[in-house]
Each structure stands twice: as C-alpha cells, then as structure tokens.
Amino acid sequence: MLNPTRSSLFDHYLGISRLLAGQLDFHSIIQAVAIEIGHIIPHDHLDVCIKMVDGKYHIAYESGLETDWSKQPPALLTGSPIRSLLSGEVDYLLSGDACNDPRFHFSGAFSRPIIELSLRSRLHVPLRVQGDFIGALSCSSHRADHYTMDDVENARSIADLLAPYFFALRAAEQAKRSAVVETEARAREEGLRLGALKLTEALEAERQRIGMDLHDQTLADLTRLARRMERMTHLPDVPGEALEPMFRSLQHCMHDLRQIIEEAKPSVLQLFGVAQAIENHLDRSVRESGLPIDWRMVDESDGKLDGLEETVAIALFRIVQEAINNAVRHGQPANIVVVLQSAPTGLSVAVTDDGVGIGNPQEQAGHGIDNMRTRARLIGARFEIGSSDGHGTRVRLFLGEDGIRTA
C-alpha cells in the first residue's frame, strides 16, 4: 500500500506532467505548473533560469513575485547569483539566509532582488538533459531556514519533469531564430543582388546617354569644325574674322566635354571631400539654371564625412547630387537647403526644398529616385523621400555607424 504522503506527491507530479502538455513558451509553462509545484515545495517566489545555447547568457522566467531578473534581456552567466550551479561547479544550492550568504553576493553579482524582496531561504537544482546543465529551477521563501534536503530531492524530481520540455522549447526557439536570421540574410543578399543589377543597368544607361551626348552634340560640332577647316586649307589667305566662329565653336565643345566629364567623375569629391563636393555641385547647379534660387549648406557632421571609404563617399555624393538636380530641374523652389549632421548612431543627410513637391513618392518613382534608393541600399543606408512640412520635397539619408568605415 502506498504511503499517503508519497501518493500525494505522485499525484502532484502527474499534475505537473498534465499541465506541461500543450504549453508553447517558457512563461506559460511556469505559470501553469507553479501551483502544483507549490503543493510539493511551498514558495513565495519561483523561477526557472534557462541558459542560452551559446552557454554565455541566461534568461529568467518567474511566477509569484516579479523581480528585475525576468525584466532584463539575456544577461551574462558570470553575473548570475547562481553561476556556480549554472556552470556545473555544484550539484545544488541550499541556503537558510540568502540575504547574507556570500555565495550569492560576489563582485558583479545581480543579487539585488534577493535583498529587496527578502528572499531568505533559497534552493536551486539544475535542469539537466543528457548530462548537460541547461538551466536551473529555483524556489525561495521569506522564512529563514525553510528548506531541507528533502525539498532539494523533491525539487530534483520536478526538474527532471521540466527539463525535457525546456530543452525542446529552447531548441525550437533557437531553430526559429536561426531561420529568421537566415531568411533576413537571404533577403539582404537578394536585395543587394537586385540593387546591384539595377545600378548596373542604370550605369549602362548612363554610359549610353554619355555616348549619345558625345555623338549627337560634341562629335557633330567637331565634325562641322573639321569640314570648315578643310575648306579653309584651300584658301590662299585666312582672315581673322573667319577664325572667330571656329574659336567660339571650339570653346563650346570644350565646355560640353568638361561638363560631361565632371558629371561622370566627381573630381572635386576626390580632391576635397564629400562636403566640399556637395557645396560645389549645389552652387554650380543653381548658377547654371539661371533661376532665382537661394541655397544654403550646413555641415554639422563633426568630421564623420572625412575618410569615408571611396565607394561609400561616391554613393553618398551621387544620392545628394540627384536630389539637388531634381530640386533645381523640377521643383521650382525659392530655397534649397542641404544639412549634413552627425547623429548619435551615425550620420544623416537631408536635401530640402520649398518647391512644388513630389506628391506620392511611390507614384513618382523613376530612374532617379530608384537609383537613389538602390545606392542607399548598397551602402546600408536608410533612404526617405517625401514632403517637407506639407510642401516642397525632402530627401533624407541615414548612414549607421556600421556603414561609416574609414578608409
């Protein structure tokens, strides 16, 4: 015949097993089994500490009294008051007065909740699966000397019931996190691949445009000059007034070539840096437009622009260049302001005008805006475009600290 006490314990163990079925997260399991565990080991505070797969961090799940242990993100194992148990140095921890027990209060230990909540009696047993310590079950009471070795043995039996569920749940969450990370990595890789493809297509289109400009404009002008010079070779004397139109045509061709080269290769950027290149382009664009536009550039980047990798600097310049060109050509603004600003977590760039605005950026998207988005994606920057205070247009670019890598 079964001992009544043993029979009662057995019933509670069965109750714990039934309550575990169907629970899908750590917190739900603790809440579900806390009452049954309380019948076996009376407690004022119950928690389960789970080691992360890397073995360096742990996280706590509580029932009853709520402490900062469960409010914290995964914390280093070295700061846990029960690190000796979690690391496998001891097989259990039992204390009649944890508030004054030096095992819980070492340098760097996060043991403040023990004092604040007067968790005097404490017992801790490991959650063990296939010989590995995956965490710990902890019971605490306000009463001193409340637990005995019999309670430790009962706690071990409970831990044996809980450990397989926690192990499986931890493995499932790790697999879920790995799947999310892998999916995000694939998405980034695919985004970069598509972005690079779009940018390659844009560069090819730009090369074709430059070729057409050279063919239809500069080459045509040079061809006319060559024919005129050929005709002049047959003249016995060439008057000065005949050379004047040729001189003006040559100057015009040189100006066109210089403009094409400057657009293709940002030499000011390479010589003087991003801020100077942006200011130079802004000044030249407004001046050559002939429009009454006031412009201003504010550089509060605190030196973060200096020494950027060449590819990042060129992409940043090209995005701002396109934003300025759009404002001048299409915005009809009275003012254009470019702000380069250091942020706590990176660098922000904003090009703002008070023109007619862009409307819905998604509907207005074209090669220019698409190229800006693509360039931003390729350097890991966040790109935004929209209205400025209800009118005009604002293009914003944010480059995080990870993207600010000096050359």
Q: Which has the higher per-residue pLDDT, 112 or 25?
A: 112
pLDDT above 50 (res 1):
no
42-100 residue pLDDT tens = 999 998 888 887 778 888 888 878 888 888 778 888 899 999 998 889 999 999 999 99
Q: Which of 220-234, 329-343, 382-396 has the lowest mean pLDDT?
A: 220-234
pLDDT of the residue at 353: 93
Q: What is the mean pLDDT of the chain?
A: 81
Q: Is beta strand 391-400 parallel, antiparallel or unpaired with respect to 381-388? A: antiparallel
pLDDT of residue 209 exceeding 70, the answer is: no
Tokens found for residue 296: 């201003």
pLDDT of residue 227: 75
Which pLDDT score, from 0 to 100, does residue 142 have?
94
Instruction: Give the pLDDT of residue 5.
Output: 55
pLDDT of residue 331: 86
pLDDT at residue 403, rounded to an integer: 62
Report, as an integer, the average pLDDT of 90-116: 93
Give residue 147's pLDDT.
Answer: 94
Mean pLDDT along residues 314-337: 90
Specify the pLDDT at position 4.
44
What is the predicted pLDDT for the residue at 407?
47
Closest CA to 347 of 247, 270, 287, 275: 275
Q: How confident is the model at residue 344 (pLDDT cuts 50, 70, 90)?
A: confident
Section 364-375 average pLDDT: 73
User: pLDDT band at 253, cuts 50/70/90?
Assistant: confident
Cβ neighbours around 286 below 10 Å, total? 19
Report, as an integer, the average pLDDT of 370-387: 86
Q: In what order do the strands lie in the sheet with 335-343?
A: 294-300, 335-343, 346-353, 391-400, 381-388
pTM over 0.85: no
pLDDT of residue 359: 66
| pLDDT digits 0-9 by tens, 255-274 | 777 766 666 655 566 667 88
The token pair at 155 is: 């706690």
Long-range contacts, 151-158 (Cβ 8 Å, 24+): 151/41, 151/123, 152/92, 152/94, 152/123, 152/125, 154/9, 154/40, 154/41, 155/41, 155/92, 155/123, 155/125, 156/92, 156/125, 157/13, 158/13, 158/16, 158/37, 158/40, 158/41
115 half-sphere exposure, CB direction, 13 A CA radius: 10
Band of residue 121 on the pLDDT scale cut at 50, 70, 90: very high
For residue 107, pLDDT beyond 50 = yes
18-22, 337-341, 358-362: the lowest-pLDDT one: 358-362
Cα separation of 135 and 162, whole Å? 10
pLDDT in tens, 276-294: 889 988 998 898 888 899 9
Higher pLDDT: 56 or 180? It is 56
